[in-house]
Amino acid sequence: MNPASKRRGLSLHIGVNQVDADHYGGWDGALTSPENDADTMFEIARLRGFEASQLKTRDATRAAVTAAIRDAAQQLAAGDLFLLSYAGHGGQLRDLDGDEQDRLDDTWILYDGHLLDDEFNLLFTHFKPGCRILMLSDSCHSGTMLKGGEDDPLAGQRVSDDFDIPRLIPRQAALDTANQRRAFYAGIQRSLPRPRPPVAATVRLLSGCQEFEQSWGNKDTGRFTAAVTKVWAGGAFHGDYTSFHQAVVEELKFAMNPQTPGHMVVGTPDPDFDRQSPFSI
């Protein structure tokens, strides 16, 4: 494993302000802030010493994103870190291989098509043992919306703000895309190996919301990205990933449109990664 002094950090920051309406049933997914969020994460990465790159809107295609991730996997060795951030719409497609309890695959809505969580899982298997991956996703995961029928214990304490733009593909556009591109996505899902190879790297995800919630933004930024930036405070934050996640959750606790940032780790356990300060190579 590379000693700490020689560890390498690569990063990729994706912001999608608009999508190809021809692919998404006439819906162009217009937003104004995801590219700004990609710039924010790009600057954090540069401050931390990463070799940082970006893919924005028309350049953020399925082929370009997957190629960039594969390239990072080839370049990085044990002890190195890959930072991956995404800002834009999130979606879901019907799961065909039975590995999702809700029978839906979560997706990033890239310029020319969905990128499925199953595809991420396979991409991450290309990283060498000992590599670390930190992934931030400021996007909605549409689905069952379980909060719809529940009482909100914080309702009387919520504070109005201007984060009122959901990063969620509208239901009709999602249905139209799924119906019109059924063969395309079924082909992707059925082409993935079963069972998939194990992930030897350590993959940490900080997400803008839970699967049943939406992530919100305004014309300038995503609320999750804004909270991450505020808590990190230009590197002044002291603590590990668990405490960082808890602080971001607390920052959004009383938001008018509820969203609860998530934190999960898959792959090979890495206690040293757990203890690190956020965005440290």
Residue 132: CB atoms within 10 Å: 26
Catalytic residue among 13, 23, 114, 140: 140
Are β-strands 81-87 and 132-138 bridged in parallel, bridged antiparallel, or unpaired?
parallel
| Residue 89 appears among annotated catalytic residues | yes
Distance CA(136)–CA(83), nearest Å, equals 8
| Options 13, 89, 114, 245, the catalytic residue | 89
Check if 23 is active-site. Answer: no
Q: Cα–Cα distance between 91 and 233 in angstroms, integer?
A: 30
Task: Give the whole-angstrom CA distance, residue 89 versus residue 82.
Answer: 22
| 3-class SS of residue 155 | helix
Cβ-contact 126, 70 below 8 angstroms: yes
- Smallest Cα–Cα separation from 61: which of 108, 121, 119, 117? 108
Q: How many helices (H) and strands (E) does the chain have?
A: 8, 11
Closest CA to 231 of 259, 239, 2: 239
Residues annotated as part of the active site: 89, 140
